[in-house]
């Protein structure tokens, strides 16, 4: 799991020790085919990294994308606690690595370097999304 976490762009620049702290504060959650993992406009606060399986992403009922092993979602709600911007549904049985905001926030307070790395990674994602929108 530590190696998989290191391949996620949000965490790739973190030290092995910092990734281990995140791993220690997380758990594995599985979902059955057809089960909603997160639902658009509902409260959030949990990050998910897909270990095995596939998921479908929809906004307002319109299919946008799909996720597979190594893909992740929920990073914005993890940080800001705002409602989900999309629904993610298990297309197959799904195994995820997940961390809740109530476990993540203390890590950020204790290790400010985590926050800095996440901010840089999120900025990269926003810039990339901006470029693809035009």
Tens of pLDDT along 91-107? 999 999 999 999 988 88
In the CATH scheme, what is the code of domain 2-128?
A: 2.60.120.10
Q: What is the pLDDT of residues 103-133, one digit of tens each?
A: 988 888 887 877 887 788 778 877 877 676 6
Query: Would you say the C-alpha torsion 3, 114, 20, 22 has a positive or negative sign?
Result: negative
User: Which pLDDT belongs to residue 68?
Assistant: 96
Residue carrying structure tokens 């993890």: 78
Q: Can you give the pTM of this predicted structure?
A: 0.85
The pair of three-digit structure tokens given for residue 126, joined into one six-digit string: 């926003």
Task: Give me the residue spans of the domains in the chain.
Answer: 2-128
The Cα–Cα gap between 93 and 53 comes to 6
């Amino acid at each position: 799991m530590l190696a998989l976490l290191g391949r996620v762009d949000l965490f790739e620049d973190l030290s092995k020790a910092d990734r281990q702290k995140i791993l220690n504060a997380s758990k594995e959650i599985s979902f059955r085919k057809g089960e909603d993992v997160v639902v658009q406009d509902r409260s959030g606060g949990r990050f998910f990294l897909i270990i095995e399986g596939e998921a479908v992403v929809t906004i307002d009922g319109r299919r946008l994308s799909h996720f597979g092993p190594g893909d992740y979602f929920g990073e914005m709600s993890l940080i800001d606690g705002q409602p989900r911007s999309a629904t993610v549904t298990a297309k197959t049985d799904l195994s995820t690595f997940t961390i809740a905001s109530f476990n993540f926030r203390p890590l950020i307070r204790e290790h400010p370097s985590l926050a800095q790395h996440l901010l840089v990674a999120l900025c990269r994602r926003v810039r990339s999304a901006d470029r693809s929108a035009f």
